Amino acid sequence: MMRQSRFNVLRAALMAAGLMAGAVFAPAAMADDAGPQNTVFVGLAYLQNHSKSANLSGYNTPPNLNLDVGDATTLGLVYVRDLPGPFSFELVLGYPPRVRTDAAGSGWGALRGAGVTDVDVYSPTAFINYHFFGDYAKWDPFVGVGLNYTKFTNTKALPPLTGAQGPTKINLSDSWGAAAHVGLIYRFNSKWSVVGTVAVADVQSNLTSTSYSPVNPSVITSQAKTHINFHPIIYTLAVGYSF
């Protein structure tokens, strides 16, 4: 039942992505002529993870080992294209933040609370937005739904982990999931504006931590796995220029 529910959510998100593509590549003549049709926002994004995961388990893995995924602040970059009616297409990019994960659970002993891994998070997200007051309102509240893709790169096992386990490699699978946000734009004039948003996304990943013998790197001494549901909330404040 949970798999079917998750499939339905992702299917709806993919259908929304199809609508996005059709809207973005529609003839320019269909767009509203009331003002500029493109806006670029640049600002700060704060990523707050509310992660949940089962205890790590696997070959030669002690019990009661868990992980606590940290938060991060990064540079946000957003492109918005006005669409016919009270709609817009939005692509959220930005500089990938480096996120630290701490040891959690009694099995870590003295290492509990120490940083054990770092990872860079690429998380582009596409939205279709609905603007309650239509195009170019001075105060412009909106909501949006869309699709998120998250890729984890440059994973690094930190000294507290490698000191206890030996040389260690961390792998996190990619994630596709639905996303939604709410926001408010304030327009100073036809060119300049400021926006604040709060977004959530379905980001989940399978983590595998593999440790090797410091004497013989081809020998695996332990391997631990778990599934992480990140439950991220992203807060963004940015300045926009329309053209």
- Letter string b/e over residues 26-61, b meaning 16 or more CB atoms within 10 A of that residue's CB: eeeeebeeeeebebebebebebebebebebbeeeeb
33 found inside a domain = no
Q: What CATH number has the domain bearing residue 56? A: 2.40.160.20
30 found inside a domain = no
Regions of the chain where pLDDT drops below 50 = 1-33
Q: What pLDDT does 23 receive?
A: 41
Residue 130: CB atoms within 10 Å:
14
Determine the structural domain holding residue 211 and report its residue range. Answer: 2-25+41-242
For 203, phi then psi, to 5°, come to -120, 115
Is residue 88 within 8 A of residue 131, CB to CB? The reply is: yes
150 found inside a domain = yes
Is residue 199 within 8 A of residue 180, CB to CB? The reply is: yes
How many domains, the chain? 1
Q: Which residue has the tokens 């926001």?
A: 183
Query: CA 62 to CA 211: how far, in whole Å?
Result: 13
143 found inside a domain = yes
Is residue 73 within 8 A of residue 43, CB to CB? The reply is: no
Angle at 177 between CA 93 and CA 120, to 5 degrees: 45
Q: Report the chain's mean pLDDT, rounded to a whole number.
A: 89
Q: Which residue has the tokens 């806006």?
A: 39
Question: What does DSSP say about strands 139-157 and 125-131: parallel, antiparallel, or unpaired?
Answer: antiparallel
Query: CA 54 to CA 155: how far, in whole Å?
Result: 20
206 found inside a domain = yes
79 found inside a domain = yes
Is residue 220 within 8 A of residue 210, CB to CB? The reply is: yes
Is residue 232 within 8 A of residue 203, CB to CB? The reply is: yes
32 found inside a domain = no
Query: CA 46 to CA 90: how far, in whole Å?
Result: 18
**161-217 confidence digits (pLDDT tens):** 999 999 999 999 999 999 999 999 999 999 999 999 999 999 999 999 999 999 999
Q: What pLDDT does 230 receive?
A: 98
34 found inside a domain = no
